[in-house]
Amino acid sequence: MSMHAKDSTERGIDYMTDTRPIAAGGNTPGCKKRDPIVVAENVSRSFGGINAVDVEYLEIPRHKITALIGPNGAGKTTLFNLLTGFDTPNSGKWQFEGNSLAGVSSYKVARMGMVRTFQLTKVMGKLTVMENMRLGGSSQPGERLSKALFKGLWGGREKEITAQANVLLEKFKLDAKKDDYAASLSGGQRKLLEMARSLMVQPKLVMLDEPMAGVNPALTQSLLDHIKNLKAEGMTVLFVEHDMNMVRHIADWVVVMAEGKIVAEGPPGEVMKNPAVIDAYLGAHHDVDLGDAEGIKELEAELEADEESVVGTEDAGILSVDVIAAEVAQEKEQK
């Protein structure tokens, strides 16, 4: 475990092994948390009559890894945009560490310690990987026009930022690429770079929108460990992910969205047994537990009977829920 973990242990709590309950009461959708970092109330956003997000109440637990799951179009990315100031809701209020964020511009949200990545990866293609990383560095006096001309005023901080970037790049297996232009990276490497860059800001809450999409499977395991370790460094993580294995592996808490609403919340094991969740994802195929291998086998068997199902093709064995959900929706339409 890292040095930071020791720090947090010294303060009495090890966030890696903290087993105190997350919810303050029952695990109902929109339940109160023992120690929330984000609280959102009645946040709604509609696009041309369609309610993309309509969240009545949501708390994100501090020092935990929360997965935000739900079928495509559930409103997860839109919720990210709203919470981080990249989009403005039609109504609602929300706060981060007790500070109201309604109307606060996105860069200020990031400075307060709430940093997000994008589903459609955003790297600066014509900057090198290292320059991308340095851009994330905080309190660099040289970023002010009045000091930019004088290297003496910012060279020292630049060295610290570079050292910080080197450590992260190594963790994310990008150190060999650091002098390459980011445009030359593969899709998965760009995801990694974006995540590493967001950590350069040293956020309190890091919000990752589909961090594993396109990442080389050989890398995912070590990446999952890095995400887990963020907790040890005192960070809170909120991430969107479709891969249930990953969710089960690292999430302490799962929030399920469907059609803009929070439909279920709870620890991963519990949520994946929840009929409302299975409903949201699959429509039919109610009576399975996505959380254990038995349930998945059951579902696969059931899907095998369906001609349109992806199971039994080259995807066999990989339960990619969003693909199945799309297939099922298509199937429904045809009926």
Partner 1 sequence: MDYSSILSSAIGELISPTTAAYALAALGLAVHFGYSGLLNFGQAGFMAVGAYGFAISTLTFGVPFFVGLLIAVVASAVFALVLGIPTLRLRADYLAIVTIAAAEIVRYLVTTSGWTAVTGSANGLADFEDGFYSMNPFPEGSYLGMNNRDFFIRVVGWGLVVVCCVLIWLLMRSPWGRVLKGIREDENAVRSLGKNVYAYKMQALIIGGSLGALAGMVFTLPRGAVQPSNYGTELTFFLWTCLLLGGMATVLGPVIGAMMFWVVLSLTQGVLTGLIESGAVTWLSTIQAGQLRYILVGIALMLLMIFRPQGVFGNKKELAFA
Ligand X SMILES: Nc1ncnc2c1ncn2[C@@H]1O[C@H](COP(=O)(O)OP(=O)(O)O)[C@@H](O)[C@H]1O
CA distances from 53 to 31, 115, 258, 323 (A): 18, 20, 9, 22
Dihedral sign, CA of 13, 16, 20, 24? positive
Q: Is 117 a binder of Mg ion (CB under 5 A)?
A: no
Question: What x/- string results for residues 196 through 215 when contact with ligand X is judged by CB under 6 A?
Answer: --------------------
Does 138 contact partner 1 by CB under 8 A? yes
Q: Judged by CB under 5 A, does residue 77 bind Mg ion?
A: yes
Check residue 75 for interaction with ligand X (CB under 6 A): yes
How far is the C-alpha of 9 from the C-alpha of 13, rounded, in Å? 5
Structure tokens at 62: 């501090």
Q: Please list every residue from 4 through 63 that binds ligand X, using CB under 6 A.
A: 47, 50, 52
Among 8, 44, 77, 117, the residue binding ligand X under the rule CB under 6 A is 77
Rank residues 134 and 261 by Cβ distance to partner 1 and give the closer one: 134
Q: Is 184 exposed, middle or buried (0-12, 13-18, 19+ CB in 10 A)?
A: exposed
124 binds partner 1 (CB under 8 A): yes
Q: Is 201 in the site for partner 1 (CB under 8 A)?
A: yes
Choose, by CB under 5 A, the member of 90, 106, 119, 320 that binds Mg ion. Answer: 119
Distance of CA 228 to the CA centre of its chain: 12
**Residue carrying structure tokens 């981080």:** 84
| Contact flag: residue 7 with partner 1 (CB under 8 A) | no
3-state SS, residue 321 = helix
Q: Rounded to whole angstroms, how far apart are CA atoms 35 and 68?
A: 18
Radius of gyration of the chain (CA): 21
Please identify, using beta-carbon distances, which residue of 29 and 203 lies nearer to partner 1: 203
Contact 38, 11 (CB under 8 A): no
Looking up tokens 């970092």 gives: 37
Segment contacting Mg ion by CB under 5 A, of 3-11, 51-59, 113-121, 139-147? 113-121
Pick from Mg ion, partner 1, ligand X, none: which does 78 bind, CB < 5 to 8 A by kind? ligand X
Can you give the binding site for ligand X, defined by CB under 6 A?
47, 50, 52, 70, 72-78
